[in-house]
Structure 1
Amino acid sequence: MLALVVKQLLRSQPNSSTTRGLLRRVQYDCRRAIATTSEIATKTPPTIVRRRSKTANGERSVGDEIDQQYTLSWSGATPRTVLIIKKANDKQVDTALVRISQWLNQAYPQINVVLEPQVYQQFHHLLPSVRTIAPGSIGEYTRVVDFVVTLGGDGTFLHVSSLFHSQVPPIIPFSMGTLGFLLPFNVADFQSQLQKVIEGTATLLPRTRLTYSKRTFDGSVDKQGPVNITNEACIHRGTYPHLTTISCYLNDHLLTTSVGDGIIVGTPTGSTAYSLSAGGPIVHPLVSSMIVAPVCPRSLSFRPLMLPSNSVVKLQVHQESRGRATAYIDGRDCGELLQGEYIEIRQSPHPLMCVNREDLAAGWALDINQLLKFNRTFSYPHESLFGDDDPEGQD
């Protein structure tokens, strides 16, 4: 059993009327969801969903692994503070934010609704009950937030990771963006889904995060410090016209030296992002691993790799590289790397705890087929997923 325990007391902020009265978040437990053999048979085969199961005589089956999904339960009290993160400049998202905030205030008046400072300035006249934190006080989110609601696309979901440098509260994402591969819930169902979270009956999926640190020639850590990675870290030649030469080390052992546009180190969550476009594999979120994928390498024999999640990967701009390189974290420019400088990437001890469908395997298979059009043919547009003709698509 995994227990994520946090302190209960909150010191009020005397210098900010918008944060005064926020209560410290309550304790919550994430317990592994244990399924019996009969439950597995009626849902999905045990080879698809990694659930800890028991045979008829009570013994564990050969090959059983610990289920990496968790059930959420609040320790002795309901949550007190929810942070709502919204996509910018979208009228439909704005409407959803107002509806959800008003419903929470009516159905659960004891719960504080917190918005980011810039969003608070836009909506506090319409929603007088909402609160915010002082600009620049990003550490307050970790201190007061019990769970997070996101309204937008995958980019909005990724933004949450940048707000929590250590432990991340449960996140319930609602799809209101372009793709929404990471967002299992429709915003039309917000009442029923939020009730599950507040009442402590939701299922959680921990999504692996990595940490990135930039190091100078002598190995000292750059002043920027460690940065969390949700999708991928990438060293890329950027705007330089020449290919860049990057040495890739695995646990301090030289793996390879690549000449090309760059190298990606990604998570299972990021396997459907930039890494996928670079030819990397699609990795199930329950597979604890790291992905190393080259970006347009000169050598055709440099193929994508999957490494154990406890690996430490170092990407160093070679001393003889013709050009410099730029480090990107989840699409954000994190600065230039000179010859001899490098970044070090390892697994973070703080995953993203995401509220997810109860049947993860079915939902994941549905997403890669409907959203990514997995293995769809271009020759037969009316062919169904199972190879049968689609009568609705024919003339």
Structure 2
Amino acid sequence: MSEFQNIGLIGRTESDSAVISLRRLIAFLEGEGFSIVLESETAEAVLGHEARVSSRERLGQLCDLVIVVGGDGSLLSAARALAKFSVPLLGINRGRLGFLTDITPDQIEQKVGEVLAGKYMAESRFLLDMSVTRNGKAVGAGSALNDIVLHPGEFIRMIEFELYIDGQFVYTQRSDGLILSTPTGSTAYALSGGGPIMHPKLDAVVLVPLNPHTLTSRPIVVEGSSEFKLIIGKQNITKPYVTCDGHEQLTTEPGDVVRVHKKPHRLTLIHPIGHNFYETCRSKLGWLN
């Protein structure tokens, strides 16, 4: 008997191709006798099913495995909601790059079947927690599997901030912002900003300046358990934004303090047997074979 009996499904509902793959996945799972729980928004996009329906967070309590049908963004969103429940995630790619969602639509029956039969690789990834305080009072918080980004928001204007790591002053920087990225996010926005690619097993965070005014300001890789503090400069004309995985967003005020640290809960990603990080880089980033 499979260790995964109750299977949660989350789909990219605005994508017709993802809905087609969801229907195919549901038919396969029902045929194999598994119990299916559909996330509520996903259920609205897939009519005619007889599966249980649940809120996204409730899936973490009801399911042994959650399968995400969509792109990396869909999996990032699921990870933020479900990491605290320790339920593993498996991704079927209906997006573009697919660094995290590594099963192709034509492999659904074969690869999902193998995973459910116990033939899989499990990988642990950490997330980042972020909080913003103003005059000592909390004004917002968020979490990210890829990155926390400080940026100017609506206006293209340099911002000034101070950076502290583990209580030690690093620098005052004027730039378009700063990316604080996990190894998972090192192949995303941080890569386009000139940051290094980090292997997912690394316990590290990379800080990538966005168009810094000082040309000697370069990416820094530090220990993953570090505590980061950003103090928004009081001379800023614009009000910088802080975003989590490009999704959750907060507007800061001059003098606000942004704190970032590793989330206590880790995410388990499930991959089919044979998953290879370097092969993924070759195929997704166009490296030569």
Q: Same fold (TM over 0.5)?
A: yes
C-alpha contact (below 8 Å) 1:264/1:294 kept by paired residues: yes
Which of residues 135, 138, 141 in structure 2 aligns to 1:221? 138
User: Do the aligned partners of residues 139 and 89 (structure 1) sit closer, same or farther apart at CA in structure 2, a change above 3 Å counting?
Assistant: closer
- Cα distance in structure 2, aligned partners of 1:86 and 1:164: 15
- Cα distance in structure 2, aligned partners of 1:138 and 1:101: 17
* 2:283 corresponds to 1:365: no
Which of residues 27, 37, 45 in structure 2 aligns to 1:102? 27
User: Do the aligned partners of residues 241 and 354 (structure 1) sit closer, same or farther apart at CA in structure 2, a change above 3 Å counting?
Assistant: closer
Q: Which residue of 2 aligns with 1:116?
A: 39
Please state whether the residue corresponding to 2:85 is helix, strand or coil. Answer: coil
User: 1:139-186: per-residue Cα shift (whole Å, max 9, x none)?
Assistant: 422211211111121111112113225133111111221111222222
C-alpha contact (below 8 Å) 2:186/2:196 kept by paired residues: yes
Which of residues 165, 170, 182 in structure 1 aligns to 2:88? 170
User: Do the aligned partners of residues 354 and 243 (structure 1) sit closer, same or farther apart at CA in structure 2, a change above 3 Å counting?
Assistant: same
Q: Which residue of 2 aligns with 1:201?
A: 119
Q: Which residue of 1 aligns with 2:203?
A: 288
Q: Which residue of 1 aligns with 2:14?
A: 89
Which of residues 272, 279, 290 in structure 1 aligns to 2:187? 272
- Cα distance in structure 2, aligned partners of 1:206 and 1:106: 30
Question: Which letter does structure 2 place at the counterpart of 1:122?
Answer: A
May I ask how many residue pairs the two structures share in their alignment?
289
User: Do the aligned partners of residues 357 and 104 (structure 1) sit closer, same or farther apart at CA in structure 2, a change above 3 Å counting?
Assistant: closer
Structure 1 unmatched runs, 5+:
1-75, 375-384, 387-395
**Shift in Å at residue 196 of structure 1?**
3.3
Greater helix content = 2
User: Do the aligned partners of residues 241 and 107 (structure 1) sit closer, same or farther apart at CA in structure 2, a change above 3 Å counting?
Assistant: closer
* 2:84 corresponds to 1:159: no
* 2:262 corresponds to 1:339: no
Which of residues 101, 114, 130 in structure 2 aligns to 1:183? 101
Q: Which residue of 2 aligns with 1:244?
A: 159
**Shift in Å at residue 95 of structure 1?**
1.6
Q: Which residue of 1 aligns with 2:145?
A: 230
- Cα distance in structure 1, aligned partners of 2:239 and 2:19: 42
CA RMSD of aligned residues (A): 1.9
C-alpha contact (below 8 Å) 2:111/2:272 kept by paired residues: no
Q: Which has the larger radius of gyration?
A: 1
Please state whether the residue corresponding to 1:160 is helix, strand or coil. Answer: helix
* 2:1 corresponds to 1:80: no
* 2:49 corresponds to 1:132: no
Please state whether the residue corresponding to 2:221 is helix, strand or coil. Answer: strand
Identity of aligned residues (%): 23
- Cα distance in structure 2, aligned partners of 1:182 and 1:194: 15
C-alpha contact (below 8 Å) 1:154/1:181 kept by paired residues: yes
User: 1:24-80: per-residue Cα shift (whole Å, max 9, x none)?
Assistant: xxxxxxxxxxxxxxxxxxxxxxxxxxxxxxxxxxxxxxxxxxxxxxxxxxxx97433
Which structure's relative contact order is higher, taking Cα pairs within 8 Å and 6+ residues apart?
A: 2
Structure 2 unmatched runs, 5+:
none
- Cα distance in structure 1, aligned partners of 2:282 and 2:204: 23
Please state whether the residue corresponding to 1:191 is helix, strand or coil. Answer: helix
Q: Which residue of 2 aligns with 1:303?
A: 218
Structure-2-length-normalised TM-score: 0.93
Please state whether the residue corresponding to 1:300 is helix, strand or coil. Answer: coil
